[in-house]
Amino acid sequence: MLSIESLDVTFTGERFVPAVRAVSLTLAPGRVLCIIGESGSGKSVTLQAVMRLLPPGGTRYGGRIMACGQDVLALRPAALRALRGQKVSMIFQEPMSALDPVYSIGEMIGEVVRMRQGIGRAAARARAIEALELVQVPDAARRVDAYPHELSGGLRQRAMIALAIASRPELLLADEPTTALDATVQIQVLLLLRRLRAELGMAMVFVTHDLGVAAEIADEVAVMYAGQVVESGSVGDILRAPLHPYTRALISSSVQGAAAGARLATISGAPPDPARLPPGCAFAPRCVAAVAACAVKAPSERGGNGRMIRCDQVELN
């Protein structure tokens, strides 16, 4: 369903910024891949690159992206528009800024359906109501005429999901869709996405920095740091037996499973500026397992038994 091979994304402007470096990921139909990592690690950039949503005048791509059988980086504008929303859809992080404030929810969903399936306005409105009911928006026949500012945060997020799935995409990209929600609504949205995946058979790439969210929804996990995937594998392997020092540090600093009142571990320092990456391992200045060689030699990528790790100080069994 999705195959990313050695993807590089560089922002070009006043300076060159390598935001994503040599990222390779695969996703089978009906599976969920979670990409986790700190802010600035390249998660959202990778997701937006799959739909080529980054500014065309200031972005340079390298590598290959195959989505639903199409070479995304080679598509002409008309073919790219046909791919977006029809076979690949995206749920954005903040629905209030992603939804158009001057159109009702029904008008936005209806426009997608009319463009992709060539049906009339009445049929498109019926499909919009159906999509809202599918994501469990109460009183969907009335809410379809509401504007984004008239809905709560949870309902806006559900409306965003309805907009993304209205054309029944084969691949759904979700960019931290639960970050701005309270815990109760977050759980509801996760359960909703799990149900939709089962009912519609979609594959899903889910970006998050919340390990608890990954545990709830993922089949596979890719951990990103400084624009690279530093570890990947099944969700059980990654969360129960992390190998990379960064993955271990992320899990140790999480509140998931921590005893009440216990002091949480922290990761010292901050992620590096992607325009000024150190010559060796990007995580070395913050890594408790680093040796002198880590500061001068970039780690190699090694794989086996469904696992991948980018660290020369860890054995891959």
DSSP for the chain, written as a single string: -EEEEEEEEEE-SSS-EEEEEEEEEEE-TT-EEEEE-STTSSHHHHHHHHTT-S-GGGEEEEEEEEETTEEGGG--HHHHHHHBTTTEEEE-S-HHHHS-TTS-HHHHHHHHHHHHH---HHHHHHHHHHHHHHTT-TTHHHHTT--GGGS-HHHHHHHHHHHHHTT--SEEEEESTTTTS-HHHHHHHHHHHHHHHHHH--EEEEEES-HHHHHHH-SEEEEEETTEEEEEEEHHHHHHS--SHHHHHHHHTS-TTPPTTPPPP---S-PPPGGG--SS-TTGGG-TT--GGGGTSPPPPEEETTEEE--TTS---
Q: Which domain holds residue 147?
A: 99-167
Residues 11 and 38 in one domain: yes
Judge whether 284 lies within some domain.
Answer: no
Per-residue pLDDT band at 7 (split at 50, 70, 90): very high
Residues 29 and 173 in one domain: yes
| Each residue's pLDDT tens digit, 169-180 | 899 999 988 776
Residues 71 and 139 in one domain: no
Residues 241 and 253 in one domain: yes
Q: Is the pLDDT of residue 250 over 80?
A: yes
Judge whether 302 lies within some domain.
Answer: no
Residues 74 and 217 in one domain: yes
| Each residue's pLDDT tens digit, 41-96 | 999 999 999 999 998 888 999 999 999 999 999 999 999 988 887 889 998 877 77
Residues 184 and 236 in one domain: yes
Residues 114 and 150 in one domain: yes
In the sheet that 88-91 helps form, which strands lie side by side, from edge to edge? 88-91, 171-175, 203-208, 32-36, 220-225, 228-234, 307-309, 302-304
Residues 78 and 8 in one domain: yes
Residues 226 and 140 in one domain: no
| Each residue's pLDDT tens digit, 288-308 | 888 999 999 999 888 888 899
Per-residue pLDDT band at 203 (split at 50, 70, 90): very high
Contact 131, 137 (CB under 8 A): no
Judge whether 39 lies within some domain.
Answer: yes
**To the nearest 10°, the Cα dihedral for 51, 97, 205, 36?**
120
Judge whether 8 lies within some domain.
Answer: yes
Residues 151 and 214 in one domain: no
Residues 162 and 176 in one domain: no
Residues 137 and 178 in one domain: no
30-34, 57-61, 85-89, 263-267: the lowest-pLDDT one: 263-267
pTM to 2 decimal places: 0.88
Number of independent structural domains in the chain = 2
120-134, 152-166, 177-191: the lowest-pLDDT one: 177-191
